[in-house]
């Protein structure tokens, strides 16, 4: 979500972060699993020449066939199931007539609603073999989210997550996008807290068992600045450098965290081949 956004939710306005009951984890597990399965389903279809709207239709039908709801469809006027963000598109790319070409890298982001619970996840896909620097950017992004997830512990703070991501990404001479952040979710799509992917340790909201949120760092090969295109959704890097993202929905537990959107087939990310 945009870092400046406020969710339309009473709990958000009072600054409260929902602490969910143990039974609510079951709801998030089901939603997260279906979202991950949707991304798994798309993998063999992300090939040179595929039309992005055809990927969107595949995802919509997959979700509706399973009696779930595509959360983005109709969300604040958005008309698609997926966000597909190739190359220098940072996030919220709108599927349409565009085809993916060999060498492109693309993030695909899906959110499903199952029994009222939201599962929100995204991954990178390589369209055929990709340039080594594109492969490296994707590897940095996956390591960044892994470090962010590892920092999401009961008793830690949101700033610990951001700090873990930022220090790693910048040590790899890449940059972290500032204008979009992770978010609380559950029965609400975008809720408190905001999860910034940069920051100082020991700052921000205290993490407690039962809190649900996404971590979804956007990492650029160049500078971190982005701009919004005139469609009101598509965010691109200002310097036109490549951008990558990965997103998981997680819950804080007594002992650590649970990743709701892990792929049941063990695909942490689809294989990306370096040219």
Residue 204 sits at the vertex; the CA angle it makes with 3 and 254, to the nearest 5 degrees, is 115
Name which of residues 242 to 261 contact ligand MF3 (CB under 6 A).
Answer: 247
136 is a contact residue toward ligand MF3 (CB under 6 A): no
Q: Which is nearer to ligand MF3, 201 or 233 (CB)?
A: 233
36 is a contact residue toward ligand MF3 (CB under 6 A): no
Q: What are φ and ψ of residue 24, in 5° steps? A: -65, -25
Q: Which is nearer to ligand MF3, 85 or 166 (CB)?
A: 85
Long-range contact set of residues 223-227: C-beta below 8 Å, sequence gap at least 24? 223/175, 224/175, 224/176, 224/177, 224/178, 226/90, 226/177, 226/179, 226/180
| Binding interface with Co ion (CB under 5 A) | 109, 120, 214, 247
56 is a contact residue toward ligand MF3 (CB under 6 A): no
Report the C-alpha gap between 97 and 19 in whole angstroms: 42
Choices 7-15, 74-82, 162-170, 260-268; region in contact with ligand MF3 by CB under 6 A:
74-82
Candidate list 111, 158, 166, 263; residue touching ligand MF3; CB under 6 A: 111
Q: Which does 37 bind (CB under 5 to 8 A by kind): ligand MF3, Co ion, none?
A: none
Report the C-alpha gap between 251 and 162 in whole angstroms: 17
* 14 CB-near residues (< 8 Å, 6+ apart): none
Q: Which residues bind ligand MF3 (CB under 6 A)?
A: 1, 72, 75-76, 78, 83, 92, 109, 111, 120, 216, 233, 247
């Amino acid at each position: 979500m945009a870092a400046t956004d406020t969710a339309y939710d009473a709990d958000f306005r009072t600054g409260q972060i929902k602490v969910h009951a143990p039974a609510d984890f079951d709801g998030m597990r089901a939603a997260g699993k279906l979202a991950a399965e949707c991304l798994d389903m798309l993998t063999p279809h992300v090939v040179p020449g595929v039309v992005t709207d055809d990927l969107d239709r595949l995802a919509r039908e997959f979700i509706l066939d399973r009696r779930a709801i595509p959360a983005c469809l109709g969300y604040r006027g958005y008309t698609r199931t997926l966000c597909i963000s190739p190359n220098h598109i940072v996030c919220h790319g709108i599927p349409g007539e565009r085809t993916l070409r060999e060498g492109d890298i693309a993030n695909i982001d899906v959110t499903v609603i199952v029994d009222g619970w939201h599962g929100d996840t995204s991954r990178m896909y390589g369209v055929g073999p990709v340039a080594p620097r594109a492969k490296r950017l994707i590897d940095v992004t996956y390591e960044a989210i892994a470090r962010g997830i590892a920092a999401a512990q009961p008793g830690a703070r949101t700033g610990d997550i951001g700090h873990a991501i930022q220090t790693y990404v910048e040590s790899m001479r890449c940059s972290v996008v500032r204008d979009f952040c992770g978010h609380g979710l559950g029965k609400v799509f975008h809720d408190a807290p905001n999860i910034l992917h940069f920051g100082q340790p020991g700052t921000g909201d205290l993490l407690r068992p039962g809190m649900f949120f996404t971590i979804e760092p956007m990492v650029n090969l160049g500078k971190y600045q982005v701009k919004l295109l005139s469609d009101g959704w598509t965010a691109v890097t200002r310097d036109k450098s490549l951008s990558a993202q990965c997103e998981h929905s997680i819950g804080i537990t007594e002992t650590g965290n649970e990743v709701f959107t892990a792929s049941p087939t063990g695909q942490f990310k689809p294989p990306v081949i370096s040219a």
